[in-house]
């Protein structure tokens, strides 16, 4: 299941025809990880439809099997998880390898902290650089013990708590992964776990906990958003419909905004308001972006999104919007390169600890293709304009799927083709990316080199 160790260089060129048609993108990555994990903790059998079958999520599926759940694929995107009940996971016989996935690794830390078992976790070279203390510190207060490399890096070993204590934690950073790790540990503890987040972050964990029958209270306080979870609930298996991933739809929609004459619809996209900061920003830039068929499915808002090519203007993106579009800055930076004026995206410090240092890598991606970009403190500044994107450069992707996809979308709009050094990591979140974009423009605009 590991992506090829051999880099897969790709190139994208301006298509002869605009992008058109109605398309679907793979299932939401955040919801897919959680569906497998909560399914493993529930009593009964959880049927999942629309699961993202990307490498990150398949790592979570493998880990849940190692922890004793029965996880099987029953059809394309259709999965069945026979759970073990809260507190019922078993000690894994081997190392848990979470590949490229920070979400899988951090959420799993929470899950393991609440079980009286010993486990070792590792990941690929990108994940082994990412900070884990942000989860292990609060989780240690439950009684779990963690051992890690210098600076809190993977591999790590954990011995979960025998009698886990509820957590009471104020997150120093806005992170849905840290919040979710705390709530997962809190499931196994007797009493009420309390988490306060400085800014609201994606709430798929809270939604799914309720969907499985847990009691979760959410309240906005002067200190931030307070989430309270009653420990040791019986989670009862419930069907899960995973919507299309808005973070994946972003690439197709951005391509339509950038290639003259395009009009594309992405059907069945998750529109959780804590995920839609990019769409709000694009509208502020003057993008023609509309939602139709808005509905609620499986507790999450869903709709069809249509994007149409047109002129765009620069904007300032406030720091408070970062949690709702944290994964979308690289593709927004590409869009900003074609907008009239200078776009400033503020408060992007969290981008430094993603699959790569996305702040530096995004600025470098633009600079390598003739676009004026600079980093000022924690802000990214992109100089757009009539000249558009010259292109002709190579994007260094640093094992980061979103940089690879952003670079390729940039190539569709640039005057000269854009190369990316390694597109293999796109498999972590968006299997079929190149084929889908090529189908939308009716040509092999994105191809291996
Ligand atoms: C995620 C939370 C975000 C996001 C990641 C998925 C999640 O990370 O970048 O792709 O599913 O909880 P942080 O919690 O580090 O902001």
Residue range 111-130: mean pLDDT, rounded: 98
User: In terms of DSSP bridges, do strands 418-420 and 394-395 run parallel, antiparallel, or are they unpaired?
Assistant: parallel
Ligand 1: which of 175, 323, 347, 348 to mutate, judged by most atoms within 8 Å of the beta carbon?
175
Ligand 1 center to residue 385 CA distance, Å? 32
Residue 179 is assigned to a ligand binding site? no
Ligand 1 center to residue 391 CA distance, Å? 30
Q: Is the CB of 180 under 6 A from ligand 1?
A: yes
pLDDT tens-digit series, residues 302-350: 999 999 999 999 999 999 999 999 999 999 999 999 999 999 999 999 9
Residue 106 is assigned to a ligand binding site? no
- Which atom of ligand 1 sits closest to the CA of residue 29? 11
Residues 172 and 301 in one domain: no
Residues 23 and 97 in one domain: no
| Number of domains comprising the chain | 2
Mean pLDDT of the chain: 97
Residue 175 is assigned to a ligand binding site? yes
Residue 283 is assigned to a ligand binding site? no
Spell out the residues 6+ positions from residue 385 whose beta carbon is closer than 8 angstroms to its own: 340, 341
Give residue 169's domain range. Answer: 29-240
Task: Report pLDDT for 387.
Answer: 81
Residues 283 and 258 in one domain: yes
Ranking 23-37, 158-172, 281-295, 383-397 by mean pLDDT, the lowest is 383-397
Ligand 1 center to residue 277 CA distance, Å? 14
Handedness of CA 410, 176, 227, 86 (dihedral sign): positive
Q: Is the CB of 327 under 6 A from ligand 1?
A: yes
Residues 312 and 420 in one domain: yes
Residues 127 and 223 in one domain: yes
Residue range 63-89: mean pLDDT, rounded: 98
Q: Is the CB of 199 under 6 A from ligand 1?
A: no
Q: Is the CB of 30 under 6 A from ligand 1?
A: yes
Q: Which of 214, 240, 266 is the last residue of a domain?
A: 240
Say if residue 25's pLDDT is above 90.
Answer: yes
Task: Report pLDDT for 208.
Answer: 97
How many whole angstroms separate alpha carbon 322 and alpha carbon 202? Answer: 11
Residue range 249-258: mean pLDDT, rounded: 98
Q: What is the CATH number of the domain that holds 280?
A: 3.65.10.10
In a domain, 169, yes or no: yes
Percent of the chain with pLDDT strictly greater than 70: 99
How many whole angstroms separate alpha carbon 71 and alpha carbon 58? Answer: 10
pLDDT tens-digit series, residues 379-426: 999 999 878 899 999 999 999 999 999 999 999 999 999 999 999 999
In a domain, 39, yes or no: yes
Residue range 82-93: mean pLDDT, rounded: 98
In a domain, 94, yes or no: yes
Reading phi first (left if > 0) and then psi (alpha if -120 to 50, else beta), residue 99 is in left
Residue range 369-388: mean pLDDT, rounded: 94
Q: Which of 181, 208, 240 is the last residue of a domain?
A: 240
Ligand 1: which of 38, 110, 176 to mutate, judged by most atoms within 8 Å of the beta carbon?
176
Task: Report pLDDT for 385.
Answer: 83
* 8 Å CB contact between 9 and 422: yes
Q: Which of 240, 266, 291 is the last residue of a domain?
A: 240
User: Out of 28, 124, 327, 422, which one is annotated catalytic?
Assistant: 327
How many whole angstroms separate alpha carbon 170 and alpha carbon 138? Answer: 9
* Local confidence band at 4 (pLDDT 50, 70, 90 cut-offs): low
Residues 277 and 359 in one domain: yes
In a domain, 147, yes or no: yes
In a domain, 3, yes or no: no
Residues 315 and 425 in one domain: yes
In a domain, 205, yes or no: yes
Residue range 270-276: mean pLDDT, rounded: 98
Residues 22 and 58 in one domain: no
HEC profile for the chain? CCCCCCCCCEEECCCCCCCEEEECCCECHHHHHHHHHHHHHCECEEEEECCCCCHHHHHHHHHHHHCCCEEEEEECCEEEEECCCCCCCCCCCCCEECCCCHHHHHHHHHHHHCCCCEEEEECCCCHHHCCCHHHHHHHHCCCCEEEEECCCEEEEEEECCCCCCCCEEECCCCCHHHHHHHHHHHHHCCCEEEEEECCCCCCHHHHHHHHCCCCEEEEEECCEEEEEEECCCCCECCCEECCECHHHHHHHHHHHHHCCCCEEEEEEEECCCCCCHHHHHHHHCCCEEEEEEEEEECCEEEEEEEEECCCCECCEECHHHHHHHCCCHHHHHHHHCCCECEEEECCCHHHHHCCCCHHHHHHHHHHCCCCEEEEECCEEEEECCCCCCCECCEECCCCCHHHHHHHHHHHHHCCECEEECCCHHHHHCCCCHHHHHHHHHCCCCEEEC
Q: Is the CB of 428 under 6 A from ligand 1?
A: no
Instruction: Tell me, yes or no, if 245 is annotated catalytic.
Output: no
In a domain, 195, yes or no: yes
Q: Is the CB of 60 under 6 A from ligand 1?
A: no
Residues 345 and 414 in one domain: yes
Residues 195 and 317 in one domain: no
Task: Report pLDDT for 299.
Answer: 81
Ligand 1 center to residue 267 CA distance, Å? 23
Q: Is the CB of 245 under 6 A from ligand 1?
A: no
Of all protein residues, the one whose alpha carbon is nearest to atom 5 of ligand 1 is 103
Task: Report pLDDT for 1.
Answer: 44
In a domain, 117, yes or no: yes
pTM for the predicted model, two decimal places: 0.98
Residues 213 and 283 in one domain: no
């Amino acid at each position: 299941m590991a992506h090829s160790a051999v880099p897969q260089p790709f190139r994208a060129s301006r298509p002869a025809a605009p992008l058109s048609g109605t398309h679907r993108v793979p299932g939401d990555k955040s919801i897919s990880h959680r569906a497998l994990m909560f399914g493993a903790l529930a009593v009964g059998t959880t049927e999942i439809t629309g699961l993202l079958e990307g490498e990150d999520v398949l790592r979570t599926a493998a880990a849940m099997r190692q922890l004793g759940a029965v996880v099987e694929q029953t059809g394309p995107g259709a999965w069945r998880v026979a759970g073990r009940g809260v507190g019922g996971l078993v000690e894994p016989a081997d190392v848990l390898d979470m590949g490229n996935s920070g979400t899988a690794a951090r959420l799993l830390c929470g899950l393991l902290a609440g079980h009286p078992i010993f486990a070792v976790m590792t990941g690929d070279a990108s994940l082994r650089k990412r900070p884990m203390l942000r989860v292990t510190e609060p989780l240690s207060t439950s009684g779990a013990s963690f051992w890690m490399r210098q600076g809190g890096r993977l591999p790590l070993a954990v011995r979960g708590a025998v009698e886990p204590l509820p957590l009471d934690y104020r997150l120093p950073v806005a992170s849905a992964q840290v919040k979710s790790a705390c709530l997962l540990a809190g499931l196994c503890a007797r009493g009420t776990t309390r988490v306060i987040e400085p800014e609201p972050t994606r709430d798929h964990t809270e939604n799914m906990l309720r969907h499985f029958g847990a009691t979760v209270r959410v309240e906005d306080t002067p200190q931030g958003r307070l989430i309270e979870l009653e420990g040791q609930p019986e989670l009862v298996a419930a069907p899960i419909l995973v919507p299309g991933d808005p973070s994946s739809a972003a690439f197709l929609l951005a391509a339509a905004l950038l290639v003259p004459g395009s009009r594309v619809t992405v059907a069945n996209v998750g529109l959780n308001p804590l995920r839609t900061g990019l769409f709000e920003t694009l509208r502020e830039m003057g993008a023609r972006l509309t939602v139709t068929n808005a509905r609620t499915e499986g507790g999450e808002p869903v709709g069809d999104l249509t994007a149409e090519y047109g002129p765009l203007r620069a904007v300032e993106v406030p720091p408070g919007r970062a949690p709702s579009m944290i994964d979308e800055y690289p593709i927004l930076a590409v869009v900003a390169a074609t907008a009239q004026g200078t776009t400033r995206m503020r408060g992007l410090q969290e981008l430094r600890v993603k699959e790569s240092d996305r702040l530096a890598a995004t600025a470098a991606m633009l600079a390598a293709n003739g676009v004026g970009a600079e980093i000022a403190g924690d802000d990214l500044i992109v100089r757009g304009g009539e000249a558009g994107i010259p292109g002709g450069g190579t994007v260094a992707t640093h094992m980061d799927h979103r940089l690879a996809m952003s670079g390729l979308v940039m190539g569709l709009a640039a005057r000269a083709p854009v190369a990316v050094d390694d597109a293999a990591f796109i498999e972590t979140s968006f299997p079929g990316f190149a084929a889908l974009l090529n189908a939308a423009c009716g040509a092999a605009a994105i191809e291996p080199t």
